[in-house]
Structures are given as structure tokens and as C-alpha cells.
């Protein structure tokens, strides 16, 4: 049993680790805003530092001047005037998502054009060496003016005259290069056409062969005639489906009537029929019949309180329970099979069950027939649906063949045209405006400062992410629920500093926080209604999670419900219950075990129905006290005297103490707190709880921030609004009188939300 628990726990830990890994990849805006609020100081410092550095760098920028000229792109004029060779020199592109002007801009910025400008202008760097084209491009920019075919050419340089001359030279060099390229275009076009003609002829032949192959592969003779045949076959199939379906409905109606009468499905009927032939069942039925007969005779002589009647009644119940057990094992849990159907001498039973089984078999046979007909119908429908696709493909192949033939004719015509325009000389670009010498310069300070702001925002956000990745604590309620696999039985809100470490259930029994602890005890009651635990150990992953405060408030809440509660401070290394309750710790658990002091002289009663056993003055070796037979005897005696015993145990890192105490309890309640427990501590806690072998009754999430508490705890908001209204209209005495009833009602709501089933037993707490 312990091994299985350990394996399950390891699986849960693995799942939790996987969830943690996935959480680091998820982007949740609301959670990120929370993280940003936590880390705003370092983020703001990084942002200001980045902006300051870029601002200082912007002061060092030198002023540059920008020359600007404009080019316009047009079609070749010779083709427009003669009407011959109109495709020669056209600004066309291959890819549909490009524009002809964008292609020419790339030509304008090409290395041959730029290198010629560098040579003509004798552009050099600070050492007197000619600059490289890559350095030239850093200062060059080209921009297509929207809605036009005009391109603005810009170049930056510290000397305004050089900036202007470079732009003008670049435009002139580009136009000259384009004219040289256009002169070579007719010859290249002729060569291209001669190369393409064999390929186009081959495409025409391939298109015609594709049509023939397509019709052969798809068994196509005449698609129109095939459609007519499909319509006729589908009509016949529909009629067969209708006839068979009617027969199936009739048998289904008979089967449903018999099934309703018998209350059994097919498997249960077969199992009941087999069970009826069991000698054990027949023996029980015979004994049950004789017992019922004897009981009826004896009741005529004696009343129901007579020992004979009680004995026969008990025997009848035992036989009935045996019969129900056999029925449950053979037929199924919760299935009611009348005794008359199990008696082999009952002809009606045999006829009804066998008839039901026969009808069910016929029903399955007809269902297979209907399914087969539907499959055939679907094949016809599939072919019918496929015919439009085949028609479309056939038409597409025909169009491809026609297009290939048209392309062949076009190429033959173009070949004649390019031979006529071989001597054409014209360009597709013209200078609209040469660059004047710029008068105003720019240092780029604004752009650098804007870049600093963007970079600062990026680094600030990156610092938030890195800091959050280094912080391994579970900060929110959602993270804790994903990490731990235990049932959540309560969520306590984060109290103000004035309320930290107070037993609010005793001091303010009508408050909303007190109602939260009453809901926790009610959830424990419903979750363990089958066998209520008498001794509960309460622990946590690490210190400072508030387990002692939760234990004290839970004990007070249960005591207020007129339950006799014993609270034992089992945290001998760091005891705190005496401080919480304001009692003396001079004598306690240690004195009972070591000095054989009576329990009555040590136990204090800080409130009605609640008895507190503090730790006492522990000097050394607390584990020896916890592992002693005296503590075991004390807990054993207390089980008889108290309705419930709560043990405030050390945190789970003190593994030896928890393992020792876990042997004395019936279950464990685990307390955790957002912002305190880390991933590693949470995993270690789950492994330790699995090692104890004890059942974890549930988990209490303590100290949840108000906003997160309201978002996750619907019943908490209901209780809060209820008690605010109740306290404003009634006196505090009346509220305390009704606390038990209201707590029970709200606890029922909480328990039903968790999905617990079963009736409420008379639990000890």
C-alpha cells in the first residue's frame, strides 16, 4: 500500500513539473501585470539607465546632410509609337507580389552601379582609401512615393555638396546602365524564344496525353450518362433502407418494451439467465422461500418483538443480502433482478428472457443490414460527389491544352517582333528632379533617443522575466493548485498585520474569517463521512506558512459546534500554541511523558469544549519524546475521552518528527501558503507525505490575497455578503446562536461543489 502511494505521488510530482515547465512558456497578460508590479523598481531602473545612455550617445552624434533626387519610370517610347515590340523594355516582374519599380530599385542599389559612382566621385574614408559598397549603402536610401512610379533617391554625407553630387551621379549612371541593358534585350529575347519553343511544343503534346490518361485512370467514358445511372441506383438503395429500417424499428420497439419490463440490458439478461441455473442461487431461493413461509406462520402466533420472529427476520435479511451479492457480482452493481426471474420452475421467466435475447439478436442483425446498405449508399454518394471534381479536372486539362497551344502561337508572333526592334535604343527611367545642395542637416538625436526608449522597455521587461524565473516560490493560488494534487478543503484570506497570529474564530466568531474555518471543518466532515478520523495531524511544507494559526482556528471552530476537542502542540522544536492562546507553557506534553504528571493538571481550557495540551519546556532530543510509548498511550486514552484530536506537527522538512507522529493519527491535513513555499519544497513535501503512508484528507491554502481569494472562492463571497447583512440587522448574540446552522448550510454548498457523495454520518467533529 505504501509503495503504491509513493508511485502515485511520483507521478503527480512529474505532472506538476511538466505543468511548471509549460507555465513558463504561457503568456498570460493578467499574470504578467502582477509580476510587473512586483518587479517595477529594477525594471524602472534598467529603463532609465538605458534611456540615459542612449541620450548621452545622441549628444555625440555629428550633423549630416541629405541630398535627394527623383526618378520616374515609364514604358519605352519607341514601342508606343510604332506598336511593334511593345513587350521589349517593359517593366515586368516574375513574382506576383512584387512591383516592377521595386525590381528597378534593387538594380539601382546594385554593386556595379554603386562602384562606378564611388570611382567617379572618388569617395574615400578617413584614411583616404575608397569606401566599400556596403559602407555606401548605409548612407543610401531609396523610397517609392506612394501612388506613383516616382522613386526618391537619398544619400547622407557630412559635406552637403558631396551628398548632392553623389545622388545626381547615381541617377545618371543607373539610366546609362539601363539603356545599355535595353539594347541587349532584343537579342536576349530572340535567344530566349528560340530556347523556349521546343519546351512549349512539348507541353502541348503532354497536355493532350494527360487528357487521355486522366479518362483512362478514372474509368470515364461519358460523365453525363454515369450521373443518370447513379441516380437510379440510389433510388433503389433508399427504398431498401426504408424497408429494412421499418423492420428494425418494430423489433426495437418490442425489445424496448421487454427491456423496460425486465429492467435488464442484453448482457445483464444473459448473466441473469446463467445465474438462475446456478445451484447456489437456487439453494438460496429455496431457503428464502421456506424462511418467508415460516416467518408468515410465526407472525400469526407471535408479535414482531418475539425472538423467533427476530431470528427468522435476520435469517431472511442474510439470505437476501447473499442473493443481492450474487446478483451484483454476476449482473452488476445496483441492478435489481426480481426473485421470480431467477426461479427455474417459472416458465414466464424463461420465455421473457429468451424472447428478449432473441429479439435483441434480430435487432443486431437488422442493424448490420442497415449499416451495409448505408455503406453501399455512401459509396454511390461518394462517386456522385466525385463526379463534379472529375468534370472540373477534365475541363482544366482541356484548358491547359488550349493554353499551351495559345502560348506556342504567341511565341511565334513575338519572334517576328523582336527581329524588327533589334535596333531600338530607349530607356525606362527619367530624371524628374536633380538633387540641389542641401542647406539643413540632421544629427539623428531624436531617432537614437526613440531607439533608447524602445530598447529600455525591452530590457526592463526582460529583467522582469529573468527575475521571475530565478524566484522559485509558488506565488498564487492557481500555481499551488497545479503543483499539489490534494483536494482543496479550504482557502483562508490574507489577514491584515493586526490579525496575523490571532485566533479570530474565538475572538470574532461572527466574522467572515471565522466562517471560513467552519467551512473547512464541514468539508472534512463530508469528505470522511464513511469513517470519520479521530486523530488528525496538521503540517506544512516549510515554516511560516501559518499551520499553527490554522490549527488553532480550526480547533476553535469545531469546539464552537459543541464537539469535545483536544489540541496537542506536537511541534516540540518550535512550539507556538501557548503563545496563540495566551497560556503558560511551563508544563505540557513533556511533563506527562517524562514525569508521569496527570493530564488533568497540565491541560488548559482556553474556551468551552476545547482542551489545549502545550509542548512544555523542551531542552533537548524532542524526537525521543515523540517516539516514546508514553505519547502513544496518551493519544490512545484521549481517543476515548474526546470527539476529535488535532496535532500541530512540525513542517515536513523535519521528516523524522512527522513520520513518527503520522503513526498515531488517522489522517493528515496539509497547509500551504502562496509566496512562502518553493517548487523544490513542494516536491519534497509531497514525497514525504507519500512516505508516511497516511491518507491526506485535504489541503488548506492559507493567506490568499483578497483579490485572488474573491476570484477563486464563490462561496466565500456568498458567506461574506451574508454575514455582513446578518450582522447589520441582528445582535451579535443572535448571530452566535445561528452560527452552527449557517455554517452547516454553507458547508453543504462547499462540499457539493467538491463532488462528494453519500449521506452525512454522525461524525465526531
- Decide if 357 contacts 273 (C-beta within 8 A): yes
Q: Once rounded to an integer, what is the mean pLDDT over residues 311-322?
A: 81
Tell me, what's the pLDDT at 98?
62
Tell me, what's the pLDDT at 470?
67
Tell me, what's the pLDDT at 23?
43
Buried b (16+ CB within 10 A) or exposed e, 600-613: eebbbebbebbbbb
Q: Once rounded to an integer, what is the mean pLDDT over residues 186-214?
A: 82
Query: In this predicted model, what pLDDT tens digit does every residue of 386-396 receive, in sequence order?
Result: 888 888 888 88
pLDDT bucket at 579, cuts 50 / 70 / 90: very high
Q: Once rounded to an integer, what is the mean pLDDT over residues 158-162?
A: 86
Q: Once rounded to an integer, what is the mean pLDDT over residues 236-256?
A: 85
Maximum mean pLDDT: which of 194-203, 234-243, 441-450, 656-665: 656-665
- SS3 per-residue string spanning 235-255: HHHHHHHHHHHHHHHHHHHHH
Which percentage of the chain shows pLDDT scores above 90? 16
- In angstroms, what CA-CA distances link 189 with 63, 89, 196? 49, 10, 10
Residue 117 pLDDT exceeds 80: yes
Q: What is the pTM of this model?
A: 0.44
Which of 648, 646, 624, 619 shows the shortest CA–CA distance to 635? 646
The helix/strand count (H/E) of the chain reads as 29, 13
Maximum mean pLDDT: which of 72-76, 450-454, 489-493: 489-493
The ranges assigned to domains in the chain are: 2-16+39-61+443-470, 228-385, 487-754
- Decide if 480 contacts 86 (C-beta within 8 A): no
pLDDT bucket at 332, cuts 50 / 70 / 90: confident
- Decide if 485 contacts 499 (C-beta within 8 A): no
Pairing of strands 610-613, 140-144: unpaired
- Decide if 490 contacts 693 (C-beta within 8 A): no
Q: What is the residue-averaged pLDDT of the chain?
A: 78
Q: What are the backbone angles phi and psi of residue 664, rounded to the nearest 5°?
A: -100, -5
Residue 346 pLDDT exceeds 60: no
Q: Say how far apart CA 73 and CA 429 lie, in whole Å.
A: 4
Q: Say how far apart CA 750 and CA 523 lie, in whole Å.
A: 7
- In angstroms, what CA-CA distances link 278 with 284, 316, 319, 357? 10, 20, 15, 19
Q: Which residue has the higher pLDDT, 86 or 72?
A: 72
Give 10: exposed, middle or buried? Use CB within 10 Å, 0-12, 13-18, 19+.
middle
- Listed in sequence order, the residues at least 6 apart from 104 whose beta carbon sits closer than 8 Å to its beta carbon are 73, 91, 151, 178, 428, 429
**CATH code for the domain defined by 487-754:** 3.40.50.300
Maximum mean pLDDT: which of 79-93, 145-159, 633-647: 633-647
Q: Which residue has the higher pLDDT, 737 or 227?
A: 227
Q: Say how far apart CA 687 and CA 685 lie, in whole Å.
A: 5
Given 3-state DSSP classes, what are the helix, strand and coil percentages for the chain, each rounded to the nearest 5?
A: 65, 10, 25
- In angstroms, what CA-CA distances link 91 with 149, 169, 382, 421? 11, 23, 49, 17
Tell me, what's the pLDDT at 26?
47
Q: What are the backbone angles phi and psi of residue 585, rounded to the nearest 5°?
A: -120, 20
> Among 60-64, 307-311, 526-530, 653-657, whose mean pLDDT is lowest?
60-64
- Helix (H) or strand (E) holding 196, with range, is helix 160-217
Which of 611, 616, 690, 618 shows the shortest CA–CA distance to 645? 611
Q: Once rounded to an integer, what is the mean pLDDT over residues 666-689?
A: 89
Tell me, what's the pLDDT at 339?
63
- Decide if 326 contacts 278 (C-beta within 8 A): yes
DSSP at 534 = S
Q: Say how far apart CA 49 and CA 57 lie, in whole Å.
A: 12
Amino acid at each position: 500500500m505504501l509503495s503504491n502511494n509513493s508511485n502515485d505521488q511520483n507521478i503527480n510530482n512529474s505532472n506538476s513539473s511538466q505543468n511548471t515547465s509549460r507555465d513558463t512558456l504561457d503568456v498570460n497578460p493578467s499574470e504578467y501585470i502582477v509580476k510587473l508590479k512586483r518587479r517595477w523598481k529594477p525594471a524602472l531602473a534598467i529603463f532609465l539607465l538605458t534611456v540615459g545612455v542612449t541620450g548621452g550617445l545622441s549628444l555625440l552624434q555629428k550633423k549630416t546632410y541629405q541630398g535627394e533626387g527623383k526618378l520616374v519610370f515609364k514604358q519605352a517610347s519607341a514601342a508606343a509609337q510604332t506598336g511593334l515590340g511593345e513587350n521589349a523594355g517593359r517593366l515586368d516582374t516574375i513574382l506576383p507580389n512584387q512591383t516592377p519599380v521595386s525590381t528597378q530599385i534593387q538594380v539601382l542599389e546594385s554593386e556595379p552601379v554603386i562602384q562606378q559612382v564611388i570611382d567617379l566621385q572618388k569617395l574615400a574614408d578617413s584614411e583616404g582609401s575608397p569606401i566599400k559598397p556596403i559602407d555606401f549603402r548605409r548612407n543610401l536610401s531609396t523610397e517609392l512615393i506612394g501612388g506613383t512610379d516616382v522613386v526618391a533617391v537619398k544619400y547622407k554625407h557630412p559635406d552637403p555638396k558631396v551628398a548632392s553630387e553623389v545622388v545626381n551621379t547615381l541617377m545618371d549612371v543607373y539610366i546609362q546602365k539601363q539603356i545599355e541593358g535595353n539594347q541587349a534585350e532584343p537579342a536576349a529575347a530572340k535567344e530566349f524564344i528560340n530556347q523556349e519553343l521546343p519546351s512549349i511544343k512539348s507541353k502541348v503534346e503532354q497536355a493532350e496525353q494527360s487528357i487521355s490518361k486522366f479518362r483512362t485512370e478514372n474509368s470515364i467514358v461519358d460523365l453525363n450518362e454515369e450521373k443518370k445511372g447513379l441516380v437510379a441506383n440510389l433510388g433503389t438503395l433508399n427504398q431498401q433502407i426504408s424497408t429494412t429500417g421499418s423492420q428494425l424499428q418494430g423489433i426495437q420497439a418490442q425489445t424496448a418494451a421487454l427491456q423496460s419490463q425486465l429492467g435488464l440490458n442484453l448482457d445483464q439478461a444473459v448473466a441473469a439467465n446463467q445465474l438462475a441455473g446456478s445451484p447456489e442461487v437456487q439453494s438460496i431461493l429455496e431457503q428464502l422461500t421456506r424462511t418467508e413461509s415460516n416467518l408468515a406462520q410465526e407472525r400469526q402466533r407471535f408479535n414482531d418483538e418475539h425472538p423467533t420472529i427476530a431470528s427468522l427476520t435476520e435469517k431472511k435479511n442474510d439470505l437476501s443480502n447473499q442473493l443481492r451479492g450474487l446478483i451484483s457480482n454476476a449482473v452488476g452493481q445496483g441492478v435489481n433482478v426480481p426473485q421470480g426471474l431467477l426461479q427455474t420452475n417459472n416458465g414466464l421467466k424463461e420465455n421473457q428472457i429468451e424472447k428478449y435475447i432473441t429479439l435483441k439478436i434480430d435487432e443486431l442483425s437488422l442493424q448490420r443490414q442497415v449499416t451495409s446498405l448505408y455503406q453501399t449508399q455512401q459509396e454511390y454518394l461518394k462517386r456522385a460527389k466525385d463526379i463534379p471534381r472529375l468534370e472540373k479536372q477534365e475541363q482544366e486539362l482541356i484548358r491547359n491544352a488550349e493554353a499551351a497551344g495559345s502560348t506556342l502561337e504567341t511565341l511565334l508572333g513575338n519572334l517576328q517582333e523582336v527581329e524588327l526592334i533589334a535596333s531600338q535604343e530607349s530607356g525606362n527611367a527619367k530624371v524628374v528632379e536633380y538633387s540641389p545642395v542641401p542647406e539643413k542637416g540632421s544629427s539623428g538625436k531624436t531617432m537614437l533617443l526613440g531607439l533608447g526608449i524602445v530598447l529600455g522597455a525591452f530590457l526592463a521587461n526582460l529583467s522582469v522575466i529573468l527575475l521571475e524565473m530565478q524566484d522559485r516560490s509558488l506565488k498564487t493560488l492557481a500555481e499551488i493548485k497545479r503543483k499539489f494534487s490534494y483536494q482543496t478543503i479550504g482557502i483562508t484570506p490574507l489577514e491584515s498585520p493586526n490579525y496575523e497570529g490571532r485566533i479570530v474564530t474565538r475572538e470574532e466568531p461572527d466574522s467572515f474569517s471565522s466562517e471560513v474555518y467552519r467551512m473547512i471543518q464541514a468539508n472534512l466532515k463530508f469528505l470522511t463521512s464513511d469513517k470519520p478520523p479521530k486523530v488528525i495531524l496538521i503540517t506544512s511544507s516549510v515554516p511560516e506558512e501559518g499551520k499553527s494559526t490554522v490549527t488553532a482556528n480550526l480547533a476553535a471552530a469545531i469546539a464552537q459546534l459543541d464537539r469535545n476537542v483536544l489540541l496537542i502542540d506536537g511541534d516540540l522544536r518550535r512550539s507556538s500554541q501557548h503563545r496563540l492562546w495566551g497560556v503558560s507553557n511551563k508544563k505540557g506534553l513533556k511533563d506527562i511523558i517524562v514525569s508521569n504528571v496527570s493530564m488533568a493538571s497540565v491541560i488548559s481550557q482556553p474556551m468551552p469544549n476545547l482542551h489545549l495540551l502545550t509542548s512544555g519546556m523542551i531542552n533537548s532530543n524532542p524526537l525521543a519524546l515523540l517516539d516514546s510509548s508514553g505519547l502513544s498511550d496518551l493519544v490512545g486514552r484521549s481517543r476515548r475521552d474526546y470527539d476529535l484530536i488535532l496535532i500541530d506537527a512540525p513542517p515536513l522538512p523535519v521528516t523524522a518528527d512527522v513520520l513518527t507522529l503520522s503513526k498515531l493519527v488517522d489522517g493528515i491535513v496539509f497547509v500551504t501558503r502562496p509566496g512562502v513555499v518553493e517548487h523544490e519544497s513542494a516536491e519534497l513535501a509531497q514525497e514525504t507525505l507519500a512516505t508516511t503512508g497516511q491518507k491526506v484528507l485535504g489541503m488548506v491554502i492559507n493567506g490568499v490575497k483578497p483579490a485572488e481569494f474573491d476570484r477563486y472562492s464563490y462561496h466565500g463571497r456568498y458567506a461574506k455578503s451574508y454575514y455582513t447583512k446578518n450582522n447589520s440587522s441582528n445582535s451579535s448574540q443572535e448571530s452566535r446562536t445561528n452560527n452552527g446552522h449557517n455554517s452547516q448550510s454553507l458547508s453543504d454548498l462547499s462540499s457539493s461543489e467538491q463532488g462528494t457523495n453519500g449521506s452525512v454520518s454522525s461524525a465526531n467533529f
